[in-house]
Amino acid sequence: MPVSLPAQGVGRTRRPIRGQRVVYLGMVVLGLAAGAVTGLMGIGGGVILVPAMVYLLSMARHLAQGRSVFFALSHFQQPIRELLQIRLDSKLPML
């Protein structure tokens, strides 16, 4: 029996969409496969992931590109934070 999730409004509930689970599972499988292939070939993951999300998961092109950019930028968060911390600690001028 599906779990009811609270919706906006009092006393109303909505059921989760079954198709969303398939999309999430498809994204995980695509991510693992694309990570393995791009790691072996030495190319960026967006080269494989964006077309795969568009054609295999029927995702809008702009949404697929946005997700790819978001995940790429998330990898740079920690190095940028460390660089800023070093600059702030040493009081070097920011360029």
Confidence at 95, pLDDT banded by 50, 70, 90: low
| Inter-residue contact 16 to 3 (CB < 8 Å) | yes
The model's pTM: 0.55
Reported as a single tens digit per residue, the pLDDT across 33-77 is: 888 888 888 887 788 888 988 888 888 899 989 888 887 787 788
What is the per-residue pLDDT for 87? 74
Q: How far is it, in rounded angstroms, from Cα 57 to Cα 11? A: 34
